[in-house]
Structure 1
Amino acid sequence: MEEVLLLGLKDKQGYLSFWNDNIFYTLRGCILMELALRGRIAMTKDSNRRKCPLSDRIIE
């Protein structure tokens, strides 16, 4: 994760540039991956969730 952050930093100024907004999405993904690899979070199958096709959903 630190390597990704370092790639987005400006060399002389030491901050993330304004055009590099996508780095935040990448860092969030890295955090989730790191937590999953350490076993701190996991995906669960919830059979109680109501599943319906997109065409059946009510749109207001």
Structure 2
Amino acid sequence: MATIVVKQIGSPIRRPAKQRATLVGLGLNKMQKTRELEDTPSVRGMVRSIPHLVEIIEEKP
């Protein structure tokens, strides 16, 4: 299964609760933290909904 490495680059302070919940759903809670996640449409959608808070570092086949 393909994976992507996602890094949190923005703070959830003063952000809507929905955006904070999306970060928690991705398993991110601190600045500069990275997570390796399965490359699924749902994960891509979550990343796409908060592009100002996260970035994709690496895509592994």
Task: Decide: shared fold, TM above 0.5.
Answer: no
Greater Rg by CA: 1
Identify which of structures 1 and 2 has the higher relative contact order when contacts are C-alpha pairs closer than 8 Å and 6+ apart: 2
- Higher-strand-fraction structure: 2
- Higher-helix-fraction structure: 1
Q: TM-score, normalised by structure 1?
A: 0.25
